[in-house]
Amino acid sequence: MRPKISVIGAGHVGAEVALHTAMRDVGDVVLVDIVEGLPQGKALDMFEAAPLLGYSVRVTGTNSYDDIRDSDVVVITAGVARKPGMSREDLLLTNFRIIRSISEQVKEKAPNAIVILVTNPLDAMVYTAYRVLGFPRERVMGMAGALDSTRFRAFIAMELDVSPRDVTAMVLGTHGDLMVPLPRFASVGGIPITELIPEKRIEEIVERTRKGGGEIVALLKTGSAYYAPGTAAADMVEAVVRDLHRVMPASVWLQGEYGIQDVFVGVPVVLGSEGIHKILDLPLQDHELADLQRSAEHVRELQREVDELFEREG
């Protein structure tokens, strides 16, 4: 029997996750949404593309959470997208209710799944799901650094006019303006970018990375990014299902790593069949560690707001 991957939320991001997961041929994909006909139509369209794209897995759409039963991986993309001028924190209340409701369904129908959150504000939504699910920390994570790192890589490739495939980079911290790009760990074909790009220009690329999501929101005017987020999430799914032991950043529940306790924040992990196999504790310089801890404190404030919502809403 093939692995089963359920993607909850059939909007732009969810559809991209479903398509790119199917294209990797890692398992059958179930696309779930509350809007009648939406997941069914998109799933049918994707499967009709299978003869052209060369994948053999099934893609189906449904409005029933019963169809996520016994999923190996669940990706949650459902929620309200950011609009121009709206911060991720502004999304907190609406998306809290959505993620809490979905997590209750996942806990009941797919109790052994590895769960990957994509919904913003990301770190707070992972915390919301974690509280509801009660799963081990290895099986609940957020897709943050995987996306932020690919943006950083893309901007470096633009600057140097090189293939993005040859660029490696790492972004830690919250999925927001306090994320922590690490130029010291970025390279092109093994050459540190500090040898290729002037320091001032690197600082500008770092700042553009921090504002990467907002830049796309401003350009689109209605809606937010979905190609890169969907592909990044599919990368995480493939790493889990194929047990690839990929090293990538993810928002995880820290228990003392980097001197941070009881906070979801992005750090490098090893992803495989059990979810998070290992958290990599990098030897950060003092200013890098301070930035990461400041980022974590921002998330801690959001988690306190989530705790208050749990108390207020029962």
**For 292-308, how does the pLDDT look when each residue is reduced to its tens digit (9 = 90+)?**
999 999 999 999 999 99
Are 266 and 302 found together in one domain?
yes
Q: What is the pLDDT of residue 1?
A: 86
Edge-to-edge strands, sheet with 4-8: 59-62, 28-32, 4-8, 73-76, 114-117, 140-142, 246-255, 261-272, 275-279
Neighbours of 136 (CB within 10 A): 12
175 is catalytic: yes
Q: Picking from 21-30, 161-170, 211-220, 274-283, which range would have the lowest pLDDT averaged per residue?
A: 211-220
Q: Which residue, of 142, 168, 192, is where some domain finishes? A: 142
| CA 275 to mean position of chain CA atoms | 14
Q: Which residue, of 108, 142, 176, is where some domain finishes? A: 142
Q: What is the pLDDT of residue 82?
A: 63
Single-letter code of the amino acid located at 104: E
Q: What is the pLDDT of residue 258?
A: 97
Q: Is residue 92 part of a domain?
A: yes
Question: Measured between alpha carbons, how far is 5 from 3 in angstroms, rounded to an integer?
Answer: 7
Range of the domain at 90: 4-142
| CA 204 to mean position of chain CA atoms | 24
Q: What is the mean pLDDT of the chain?
A: 95
**Residues 65-122: pLDDT tens digits?**
999 999 999 999 999 876 656 665 667 888 999 999 999 999 999 999 999 999 989 9
**Residues 190-219: pLDDT tens digits?**
999 999 999 999 999 999 999 999 899 899
Q: Is residue 314 part of a domain?
A: no
Are 159 and 276 found together in one domain?
yes
The answer to whether the CB of 21 falls within 8 A of the CB of 234 is: yes
- Looking at 175, 245, 277, 287, which residue is catalytic? 175
Q: What is the pLDDT of residue 84?
A: 59
Backbone angles phi, psi at 66, to 5 degrees: -60, -25
Are 214 and 282 found together in one domain?
yes
pTM listed for this prediction: 0.95
Question: Total structural domains in the chain?
Answer: 2
Q: Which residue, of 116, 142, 168, is where some domain finishes? A: 142
